[in-house]
Each structure stands twice: as C-alpha cells, then as structure tokens.
C-alpha cells in the first residue's frame, strides 16, 4: 500500500523534470539560432602598436583561446592575426612544443609590446605630439576629445599613465584660443603665500605636502633616490608640474620645472633673516625685507637658474653677511643671528645641505631603452647612386667665369648631342613678351595704370585719368588737369576703411570667391602682426624706462596685450584698481573685462584713453 502511494507521488516530479529539461533544450536551441544570425566577429591584425595591444589580446583570448583547447590551433591563429615584428616573434615559437610555444609567444608579445612603461610612453608621445587645433576645426577637436577619453579609461589600469592627469597645459595647449581663454576663466589660478629657500646645493626643487594640498595640486606617485650628507635613501614622493612662483608684488613670474614633495623642508624659521637682523650692519640699510605669516614650504634648487641669477650684489664688510638681489627679491647670506652659537647644554645646531635626486621612473625608462636599443635607431636619408653621380659631376665641372658659376648639365650620357631649338626659343620669348604685356606693369604697357587697382594718389598723378583726347573737347564737363579735382583728405570716401564683414554663403563650385576671401584674410593677418611688432611698443606704458612715465590710474581704458590671440580678439576694459610696487610705481593693475576681472602687469597693457578727472 505504501509502495503504490510512493509511486503515485513520484510520477508528477518526473514529469516536471522532463518538461523543464525540454524547455531548457528549446531555450538553448533558440539562443544558438540567435547567435548564428549575428555578424561574424573579426580580430584586427596586431602590427606592434602598444596602444592596441590590450584590445588585441583580449579579443584574441575571447574569440580564439576560449573556443579551442588545442595549443597548436591557438599558436597558428596567433601567427595569423599578427604582422611585422610581432609576426616574427610568434613564428620563432612555431618550432617549439605547442603548449610551451603558445605560452612563450604570448609572453614575448607582452614583454616587447604590452609592457606598462612602453604603453604609457606611447600614450604620452601621442598626446604631446598632437598638432594644435584650429578654431573652426570641429572634427579635430572631437578627435582630440575622444583620444583624451581613451587615455582616461586606460588610466584605470595603467599606474604610470596617471602622469597625464598632472600638467594642465597638456590639454589646454592644444585647444583653440577661445577655449583656452574660457578654461582660464573657469579654472582660475590658485595662489599661496610662503617663504622660498634658494639652495644652490640642491639639484631639484621641492615643496611640502601641505603646500600641495593648499594649492589643490594633483601629483603622481613616484619614488626618488635622495642623496644628502653621507646618506642615500629611497623615499616616496609626489611629482608636480605646472607650478609658478612670483614675488610678493606679483610683477615677476617664473615657471618651475618638475617639483617633488617632502614632509618638510630642512630649514628652520630661525634661519629666516629679518629687518632687525639687518640693523646690525649699516651697509645693508638699503634692503627692505618684508615679513609674512607663513612657513618655509618651497626649496628652489639649481635646476631653476633664473631664480638664482644675481641682479645686484652688496659685498660683505667686516666678516658680515652679503646680499644678492634676484628675480624674486633680496637674499641675505651669512651670519645674522646666534642660531649657530655654542650652547653650554649641548653641541651647536649645524645644518649642511647637498641634495641630489634620481627619479626611479626615469631610470627604469632609460634602462629599458638601453636593453632594447634597436628601437632607438635614427633613420638618416642616404644619397642614391644617381645623387652621388650628380655630386661628382658638380664638383668636377664647376667653374667661375666673369663672376658667375658655370656647371655642366648632369646628363646620364656624356655623349648626348643637343638639337638646334633656336626657333622654339624664339617662339617662347614672343609668348612670354605677350604675357608680360597683359599681366605685368611696364613701360611697354602704360595702360596698366588704368586697368589695374591703384591707390588714389598715384591714380590722380596718372595721365590716364583724363581719358582719350576726344573726350577733352567739352572743357566744361571734363577737367584738363588732375589738380582741378581738389585736395585728397583722409576723411574722403575713397580713403575710408571698410569694416571687415564675415564671409557670405559660397556655392560648392564657387572656388574663386573662397580663395579670394582667404587671400584677403591672410593679408589682414600680416598687417595685424606687423602692427603688433612695430606699433604696439609705442602704446605700452613701461615703468622700467629711465624716464618714468605716467602711472595707470582707475577708470583708464586699456587693452590687454596677448600675442597669441587671433586678430581683433584682444580684451579691453577699464582699470579697477592699481597695485603699486615698493617705489610707488604701478607695476600691475586689475582690469574689468566683459566676463571677469583680470590682474595684468603694466607691460602687457596698452593705454587707449586716460580717465577723465
């Protein structure tokens, strides 16, 4: 009785399993039919470009390696989808055992073309060598944006590629001027106040991590080999680029090279000279040292020679300190206070700096290039056989006769006989003479004065203004001499300049009008550049002349000079505030433009109209 009940209870479960299995099989058949309708997958042939290695190897593993377990098939397919040097590497593994050969081929491809340093270097070289984008080239701008998007995605996997995220000018330097100006308006400069230590014993420039956070600067992680007095150690650091240092007045700017970060600068605030220290030395009374509420967060080494360059030196007297004026201000060196005096409670506090660094990332790349020197060969153009033959003929036949050099014709056959082409030369001369009379102004064709476009003054002086002689009979309507027409003034309609209008709509076949417009714009650009080079210096208010000029004052109307800006796009606005220097001369001002308030030095401004009192 129990057996019958059990059998009747298991029967529905068996039927459900059978139905579920049939449904799964039907789903698999439908899925296989859908997969069969998909387009055929193709693998791009890999030619050794490091930028395409990652996508190629992933496509090969998915479409070939996962579809077959035979190492022999995998190896031959890998040889089929490679070319040039990668193909040679894979072919060298065909003579090995199939399993070992396939593994060795993939290892060699990754070593020579998929190395992380090599891929990063390829991304950087392509970004740095990108040509500048013109203002009206939308396709080039989109291509650059897509490439940067690809770099951003690749940064998720490549540690070294994060260097692309550091220098802001890497992106903005390739953009058109208008976009660069908008970027400067949106991402204005962040400034910080700090003491700078000029260290001629350091081969690099350092800043503290607090200064990096203060400036909101982004750096890339790196390791440097730091050598100091008898010590050599490996330290972790951040690399920064795009930093700029200026003096307290903001009149001088200096771009810094690559800056490395440290926890602290090995200089104490007690070593900072003050105005009270200078009072002990009367010969330094002319130096004014400004005191600020800041720490020493910047160390400038000898890789910034402009910061070390002495402008004026006050020599030491009586074993006292000496002072050097630099681009950034006065620097006082020598014994100033008692910070190094002997203390009865312990030894004196001394400091000696000699800092040398070596970037491990650069050392790795240099070592990699040495190991694979075949990739750094320099291609040189060599002369062909015919070029060498020409040089031989030229060097052996050149002579100087009557102040002119004569050279034999570089003919392949020395015994060639030239035909008599006197008639052809005469016909050619007549044709040239006819063309010159039609197109070139000469004494043989004085009608060019009337047929060509001339300025007003030369045209009035020309006898062609009167027309043919038979038109002069009616003397009341036609003047005899050009002087009767009156004096020419700059306000006359003929001499007034017309405003530059935008180009009209051109038909596809109307090529002449487009070419004519481009020629006119090119000539206008030439005139603009010449005015910037010759006329612009006469308008600038320079405060460094021997004869001081008038200081800029609020409400003065000025133009901001930007040599890189296109024609008719310089910013203009009134002066909002003047920023005088230590001697009372205005060194920089704040200018209100249509979109922002900018601070610019006076040597980058042109005064258009003085303020009305």
Query: Which pLDDT score is estimated for 590?
Result: 92
Evaluate if residue 351 carries a pLDDT over 80: no
Mean pLDDT of 540-561: 74
Evaluate if residue 345 carries a pLDDT over 50: no
Confidence of residue 489 (pLDDT cuts 50, 70, 90): low
Between the CA of residue 363 and those of 173, 260, 366, 392, what are the distances in Å?
Answer: 28, 16, 5, 47
| Total-model pTM | 0.35
**What would the pLDDT profile of 427-486 be if each residue is shown by its tens digit?**
999 988 887 766 655 554 555 565 656 666 666 666 555 555 545 555 555 555 545 555
Say how far residue 120 (Cα) sits from the centre of its chain.
19
Give CA–CA dist 189/155, Å, rounded. Answer: 26
**What would the pLDDT profile of 176-199 be if each residue is shown by its tens digit?**
777 776 765 665 567 778 888 888
Average predicted confidence (pLDDT) for the chain: 75
Query: Which pLDDT score is estimated for 122?
Result: 81
7-21, 114-128, 311-325, 559-573: which has the highest mean pLDDT? 311-325
The helix-helix angle for 98-113 and 84-91 (nearest 10°) equals 150
Evaluate if residue 2 carries a pLDDT over 60: no
Evaluate if residue 375 carries a pLDDT over 80: no
Is 3.10.310.30 the CATH number for 535-609? no
In the three-class reduction of DSSP (H, G, I as helix; E, B as strand; rest coil), residue 12 is classed as helix
Query: Among residues of the chain, what percentage have pLDDT more than 90?
Result: 1
Evaluate if residue 343 carries a pLDDT over 60: no
Alpha-carbon torsion, ordered 87, 88, 94, 95, to 10 deg:
180
Which residues are within 8 A (CB) of 201 and not within 5 positions of it... i.e. 6 or more apart? 353, 354, 355
Mean pLDDT of 300-323: 88
Give the closest residue to 315 by CA, choosing from 287, 283, 285. Answer: 283
**What would the pLDDT profile of 84-133 be if each residue is shown by its tens digit?**
888 888 888 888 888 888 989 888 888 888 877 788 778 778 877 888 88
């Amino acid at each position: 009785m129990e057996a019958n009940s059990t059998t009747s209870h298991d029967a529905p479960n068996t039927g459900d399993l059978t139905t579920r299995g049939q449904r799964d099989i039907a789903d698999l058949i439908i899925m296989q039919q859908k997969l069969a309708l998909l387009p055929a997958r193709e693998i791009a042939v890999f030619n050794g470009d490091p930028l395409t290695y990652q996508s190629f190897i992933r496509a090969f593993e998915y479409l070939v390696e996962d579809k077959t377990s035979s190492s022999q098939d995998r190896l031959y397919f890998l040889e089929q989808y490679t070319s040039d040097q990668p193909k040679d590497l894979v072919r060298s593994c065909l003579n090995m055992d199939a399993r070992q050969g396939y593994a060795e081929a993939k290892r060699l491809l990754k070593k020579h073309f998929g190395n992380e340093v090599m891929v990063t270097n390829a991304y950087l070289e392509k970004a740095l060598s990108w040509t500048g984008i013109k203002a009206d080239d939308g396709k080039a701008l989109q291509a650059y944006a897509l490439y940067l998007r690809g770099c951003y995605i690749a940064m998720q996997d490549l540690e070294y590629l994060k260097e692309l995220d550091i220098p802001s000018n890497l992106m903005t330097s390739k953009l058109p001027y208008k976009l660069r100006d908008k970027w400067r308006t949106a991402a204005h400069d962040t400034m910080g106040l700090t003491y700078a230590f000029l260290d001629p014993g350091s081969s690099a420039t350092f800043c503290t991590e607090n200064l990096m956070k203060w400036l909101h600067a982004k750096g890339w992680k790196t390791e440097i080999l730091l050598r100091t007095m008898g010590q050599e150690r490996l330290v972790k650091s951040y690399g920064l680029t795009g930093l700029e240092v200026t003096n307290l007045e903001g009149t001088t700017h200096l771009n810094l090279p690559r800056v490395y970060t440290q926890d602290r600068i090995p200089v104490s605030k007690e070593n900072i000279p003050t105005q009270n220290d200078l009072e002990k030395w009367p010969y330094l009374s002319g130096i004014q040292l400004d005191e600020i509420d800041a720490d020493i967060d910047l160390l400038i080494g000898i890789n910034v020679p402009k910061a070390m360059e002495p402008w004026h030196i006050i020599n030491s007297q009586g074993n006292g300190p000496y002072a050097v004026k630099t681009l950034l201000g006065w620097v006082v060196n020598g014994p100033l206070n008692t910070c190094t005096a002997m203390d009865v409670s312990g030894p004196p506090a001394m400091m000696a700096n000699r800092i040398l660094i070596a970037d491990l990332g650069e050392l790795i790349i240099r070592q990699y290039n040495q190991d694979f020197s075949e990739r750094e060969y320099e291609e040189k153009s060599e002369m062909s056989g015919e070029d060498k033959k020409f040089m031989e003929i030229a060097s052996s036949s050149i002579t100087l006769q009557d102040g002119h050099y004569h050279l034999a014709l570089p003919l392949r056959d020395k015994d060639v006989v030239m035909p008599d082409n006197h008639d052809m030369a005469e016909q050619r001369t007549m044709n040239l003479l006819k063309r010159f009379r039609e197109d070139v102004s000469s004494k043989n064709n004085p009608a060019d004065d009337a047929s060509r476009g001339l300025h007003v003054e030369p045209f009035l002086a020309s006898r062609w203004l009167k027309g043919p002689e038979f038109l002069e009979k009616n003397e009341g309507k036609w003047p005899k001499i050009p002087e009767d027409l009156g004096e020419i003034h700059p306000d006359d309609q003929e001499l007034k300049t017309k405003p530059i209008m935008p180009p009209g709509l051109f038909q596809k076949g109307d090529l002449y009008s487009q070419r004519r417009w481009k020629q006119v714009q090119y000539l206008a650009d030439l005139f603009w550049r010449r005015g910037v080079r010759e006329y612009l210096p006469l308008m600038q208010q320079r405060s460094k002349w021997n004869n001081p000029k008038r200081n800029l004052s609020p409400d003065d109307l000025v133009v901001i000079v930007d040599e890189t800006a296109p024609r008719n796009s310089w910013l203009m606005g009134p002066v909002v505030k003047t920023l005088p220097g230590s001697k009372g001369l205005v060194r920089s001002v704040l200018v209100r433009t249509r979109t922002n308030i900018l601070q610019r030095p006076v040597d980058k401004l042109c005064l258009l109209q003085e303020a009305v009192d």
